[in-house]
C-alpha cells in the first residue's frame, strides 16, 4: 500500500518585518531561530542603549551576523531609534549608506526600552521632513502614553491624535503602523493612502485579551500593544487574509527571560519566532485563505519597502506537531537560555521544511 502523500504547500521565502533579537546571550540564542524561518528581518533598535547612530547599527548588524553559521543567507535589516535629539543628518547618512532601511518611532515610555523615545512629535519634525524627502519608512509603535487613557484604547487614540495629523503634515512619508491590534487600526490603514501600511503579529491573530486571564494571570500572553477584544482579533484576521497589500507579516517576536516575565512587574513581549510561519499558516487555513499566505508573508512587505522579493522557497507540510512547553536554546558559551514559545503545549498542524 502506498502511503497517503502528506499535503504540502510551497511559498516564496518569507521575511519578518518586525522582530526583537536583543543583544548578548539572548541574541545568540534567538537569532538562529529567526534566521531559520525568514530570509530577512527588520531589527528593532530598542536595545540598551538604543541604536541611534550609524556606527551603532553597523556594530549591531555585525553582532547579529556573528551568531549565524557560515553560509547562512539571512539578512538583518537595520533601523534607527528616534529620540527627541536625534540628528536628521545622521538619519539621512545611514539611509544613503544602505545601513538603515527605516526608523522607528516609540512614543516615550510606550513599551519595553522606550524610555528614550520621542516625547512630542514636534521634536522630530525635521527628521520626518528628511525621511519624507528621501523615501525612508517610518515604523510606528502606535500607542499614546497618557496614563489616564485606558490601555485598551491607546492605539485608537493614537491614530486619532497623532497618526492622522502626521499623515496630513507629511503626505509623502511612508508609514508602517506596527503590530496593529484593533479594528480601528485595520480600518484606518485600509482607507488610508498607499504609503500607509501595517504589520500584524501571529499572536494578535490567535488570542484575544481573555488569554491574559485564563484561569489566572498569564504573563506569556502579555505584550504591547496588549491583545484586545474578540471583535478586534476577528477584524485583524479579516485584514491579514484579505489579500490587501497594506497588511503584511511582522512577528514582533520579543523574548524576555523567565525572571523578567515572571516578576512583580513583568515585561511585555511574546516569543513567537520558533513557529512563526506555522502559526500564520494555521490562521490562514482556519480562514480558508491559504492561497493568500504567500503574498502576506513574502510579497507585500518587500514591495512596500521597495526591496526585491526573495528567490528561495520554503515548504510547509501538514503534519501535526506539539509545541514544547519550554525551549532550551544555547548562547555562544553553551549556556541554556530558557524561553516559553508562543503556542507552548498546543498542537500546530503545519511544519516548516526547506527546499
268 binds, among Zn ion, ligand NCD, none (CB under 5 to 8 A by kind): ligand NCD
Kindly compute the dihedral angle of the four CA atoms of residues 185, 187, 188, 193, in this order, to the nearest 10 degrees.
Answer: 130
If contact means CB under 5 to 8 A according to the sort of partner, which of Zn ion, ligand NCD, none does residue 155 touch? none
Sign of the alpha-carbon dihedral angle for 234, 267, 342, 254? positive
Q: What is the DSSP string of 329-345?
A: EE-TTS-EEEEPPTTTT
Of 18 and 232, the one with the shorter C-beta distance to Zn ion is 18
Which residues contribute to the site for ligand NCD (CB under 6 A)? 20, 46, 111-113, 141, 223-224, 252, 254, 268-269
Min CB(203)–ligand NCD separation in Å: 9
Work out how close the CB of 160 gets to Zn ion at its nearest, in angstroms, rounded to a whole number: 22
Closest distance to Zn ion from the beta carbon of 105 (Å): 12
What is the C-alpha to C-alpha distance for residues 223 and 250, in angstroms, rounded to an integer?
Answer: 14
- Specify the 3-state DSSP secondary structure of 69: coil
Site for Zn ion in 237-256 (CB under 5 A): 252
Minimum Å distance from CB 349 to ligand NCD? 26
Tell me which DSSP letter residue 263 carries: S
Residue 252 or 299 with smaller CB distance to ligand NCD? 252
Residue 156: in which H helix or E strand, if any? helix 154-158
Per partner kind, with CB cut-offs from 5 to 8 A, the member of Zn ion, ligand NCD, none near residue 112 is ligand NCD
Q: Which is nearer to ligand NCD, 270 or 277 (CB)?
A: 270
Active site residues: 252
Name the binder of 246 from Zn ion, ligand NCD, none, CB < 5-8 A by kind: none
If the CB atoms of residues 143 and 252 are measured against Zn ion, the closer one turns out to be 252
What is the distance, to the nearest Å, from the Cα of residue 214 to the centroid of all Cα atoms in its chain? 25
Binding of Zn ion at residue 299 (CB under 5 A)?
no
Distance between CA 312 and CA 85 in Å, rounded?
41
Q: Is residue 33 within 8 Å of 67, Cβ to Cβ? A: no
Please state the closest distance from residue 6 (CB atom) to ligand NCD, in A: 34
- Of 30 and 316, CB closest to Zn ion: 30
If phi > 0 it is left, if psi is from -120 to 50 it is alpha, else beta; for residue 144 that is: beta
Amino acid at each position: 500500500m502506498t502511503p497517503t502523500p502528506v499535503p504540502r504547500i510551497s511559498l516564496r521565502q518569507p521575511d519578518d518585518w518586525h522582530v526583537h533579537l536583543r543583544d548578548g546571550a539572548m541574541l545568540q540564542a534567538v537569532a538562529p531561530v529567526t534566521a531559520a524561518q525568514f530570509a530577512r528581518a527588520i531589527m528593532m533598535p530598542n536595545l540598551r542603549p538604543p541604536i541611534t547612530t550609524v556606527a551603532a547599527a553597523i556594530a549591531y548588524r555585525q553582532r547579529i551576523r556573528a551568531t549565524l553559521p557560515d553560509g547562512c543567507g539571512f539578512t538583518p535589516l537595520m533601523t534607527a531609534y528616534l529620540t527627541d535629539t536625534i540628528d536628521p543628518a545622521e538619519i539621512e547618512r545611514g539611509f544613503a549608506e544602505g545601513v538603515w532601511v527605516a526608523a522607528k518611532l516609540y512614543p516615550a515610555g510606550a513599551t519595553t526600552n522606550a524610555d528614550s523615545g520621542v516625547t512630542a512629535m514636534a521634536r522630530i519634525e525635521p527628521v520626518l521632513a528628511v525621511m519624507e524627502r528621501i523615501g525612508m519608512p517610518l515604523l510606528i509603535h502606535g500607542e499614546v502614553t497618557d496614563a489616564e487613557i485606558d490601555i485598551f484604547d491607546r492605539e485608537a487614540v493614537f491614530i486619532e491624535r497623532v497618526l492622522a495629523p502626521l499623515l496630513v503634515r507629511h503626505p509623502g512619508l511612508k508609514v508602517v503602523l506596527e503590530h496593529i491590534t484593533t479594528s480601528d487600526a485595520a480600518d484606518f490603514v485600509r482607507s488610508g493612502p498607499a504609503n500607509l501600511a501595517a504589520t500584524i503579529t501571529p499572536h494578535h491573530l490567535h488570542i484575544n485579551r481573555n488569554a491574559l486571564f485564563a484561569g489566572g494571570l498569564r504573563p506569556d500572553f502579555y505584550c504591547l500593544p496588549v491583545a484586545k477584544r474578540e471583535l478586534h482579533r476577528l477584524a485583524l484576521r479579516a485584514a491579514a487574509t484579505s489579500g490587501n497589500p497594506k497588511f503584511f507579516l511582522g512577528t514582533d517576536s520579543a523574548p524576555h527571560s523567565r525572571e523578567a516575565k515572571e516578576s512583580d512587574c513583568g515585561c511585555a513581549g511574546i516569543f513567537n519566532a520558533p513557529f512563526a510561519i506555522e502559526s500564520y499558516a494555521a490562521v490562514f487555513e482556519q480562514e480558508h485563505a491559504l492561497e493568500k499566505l504567500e503574498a502576506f508573508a513574502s510579497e507585500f512587505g518587500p514591495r512596500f519597502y521597495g526591496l526585491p522579493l526573495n528567490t528561495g522557497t520554503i515548504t510547509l507540510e501538514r503534519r501535526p506537531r506539539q509545541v514544547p512547553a519550554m525551549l532550551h536554546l544555547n548562547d555562544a558559551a553553551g549556556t541554556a537560555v530558557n524561553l516559553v514559545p508562543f503556542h507552548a503545549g498546543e498542537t500546530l498542524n503545519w511544519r516548516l521544511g526547506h527546499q
